[in-house]
Structure 1
Amino acid sequence: MTLKLELDHIAVLGESLEEAVAHAESAVGMPLLPGGTHPRYGTHNQLLGLGGVYLEALAIDPAAEPPTEPRWFGLDRFKGPARLDKWICRVRDMDEALAALPMAGRPVELSRGRLRWLMSVPGDGMLPYDGMFPALIQWLSPVPAGAILSASGARLTGLEVIHPEAEGLEALLAPYLDAPLVRFATGARPALRAELRTPQGQLRILQ
């Protein structure tokens, strides 16, 4: 099997879910849908379909039991305003993906309702390149989350990955990345910037 990394979704993180949702909704101009909880990592989310991919707002769930291991997506160390902070790529075989990209972490099996998936999670919860390395996901359920979400009419039209070592990150991922919407740019501060097209034809920026 030839390894391919396809863009699955993007994630806005916040110190609270309310902050993450408010930031996402302000940029997109429409409400996010209810999501659920992830007991293993003590987090919860809300979601919005973006035409083949989706947007996730994610934060620590204050009502959940604290996990016995570092939380995914570096949420234990997340500070400051809510922001677009992670991108997640879909793979068909997690073992193959982690053999090629071991820095992505270890495979962790998770579930929520009808959904089951494997996620790559580093031991300390922190993805390489200051979090700008994509998390990897392999959907185990027949229908992935992006296909279940109701169509919002909004579409992701571009995702820019910004990092001081963007050239190195791009070179590392280039043999496997099959995501035409993703581009890399060198910048002083690690960041993500998404371009969105609304049902009214407006171009909106989420970062």
Structure 2
Amino acid sequence: MLSLDHLALSAGTLEAGVAMVEDRLGVRLAPGGRHAAMGTHNRLLRLGPGFYLEVIAIDPEAPAPGRPRWFDLDRFAGPPRLTNWIARCDDLEAALARAPTGSGRPMDLARGDLRWRMAVPEDGRLPFDGLFPALIDWQGAAHPAGLLPETGCRLAALELHHPRAEALRLALRGLIDDPRIAVHQAPLPALRALIDTPSGRRALE
């Protein structure tokens, strides 16, 4: 069974993404780091025990990774927006066996003291226009949320809007059961998170 691990908000530059989130939520993001294997960098926000928000962008100082970046960042354009959600599992191969075709191949990754395995699609694009979750398996007890300062922010709801909503529901059925996640029929794919902050409920999309 999968569980919510974190949300990914993509941006053309890390600075633009951080500014948007801090303005929208009224809290400060914590430092993150660099991902050498993907040529990306991030900043983070704790959203509760074992759960966080990641603002991610291509690192202009990093060499190109020689393969498509995760979260389809090579094709990202426009203002910062929520693009992906990531689900945690204890057995990555078993989760992939039940996931739709194109959910990715396992990669061993690291940042500082953090170690994890993640399924990354060959073309960088996750199924259902990115609305099927990226699958992650943390190695060891260290997890980013446990290293982040408390902000008083919590995820209230995660809305998945897609023109093939019923097919997405079927793909998720039996894999994750979280009352905060809802799949909605919509003409265009979109991801929307409702977050309770010290200043009230805010939306990221």
TM-score norm. by structure 1 comes to: 0.95
Question: What aligned pairs does 1:10-21 form with structure 2 within 5 A after superposition?
Answer: 10-21=7-18
Point out the more displaced range, 33-42 or 15-24.
15-24
State the identity as a percent. Answer: 49
For residues 98-154 of structure 1, what are the alpha-carbon distances to aligned partners after superposition, in whole Å with 9 as ceiling and x for unaligned? 111143110011000110001110100111111111101100031211222121111
TM-score norm. by structure 2 comes to: 0.96
How far apart are the structure 2 equivalents of 1:166 and 1:179? Answer: 17
How far apart are the structure 1 equivalents of 2:158 and 2:193? Answer: 4
2:192 is aligned with what amino acid? R
**Per-residue deviation, 1:179:** 2.1
Q: 1:51 aligns with which of 48, 73, 79?
A: 48
Q: Secondary structure at the match of 2:21?
A: helix
> Match for residue 65 of structure 1?
63
> Match for residue 175 of structure 2?
176
Unaligned 5+ segments in structure 2 are none
**Per-residue deviation, 1:199:** 2.2
> Match for residue 77 of structure 2?
79
Contact 1:5–1:179 (8 Å) recurs in 2: no
**Per-residue deviation, 1:180:** 2.1
Q: Secondary structure at the match of 1:179?
A: coil
For residues 46-84 of structure 1, what are the alpha-carbon distances to aligned partners after superposition, in whole Å with 9 as ceiling and x for unaligned? 000011310100000000011111101100011111101
How far apart are the structure 2 equivalents of 1:172 and 1:69? Answer: 27
How far apart are the structure 2 equivalents of 1:23 and 1:154? Answer: 16
How far apart are the structure 2 equivalents of 1:17 and 1:98? Answer: 30
> Match for residue 108 of structure 1?
107
**Per-residue deviation, 1:23:** 1.7
How far apart are the structure 2 equivalents of 1:62 and 1:11? Answer: 19
2:195 is aligned with what amino acid? L
How far apart are the structure 1 equivalents of 2:165 and 2:156? Answer: 20
How far apart are the structure 2 equivalents of 1:172 and 1:30? Answer: 35
Point out the more displaced range, 108-117 or 173-182.
173-182
Unaligned 5+ segments in structure 1 are none
How far apart are the structure 1 equivalents of 2:179 and 2:85? Answer: 14
> Match for residue 2 of structure 2?
5
How far apart are the structure 1 equivalents of 2:23 and 2:130? Answer: 23
Alignment partner of 1:155 is 2:154? yes
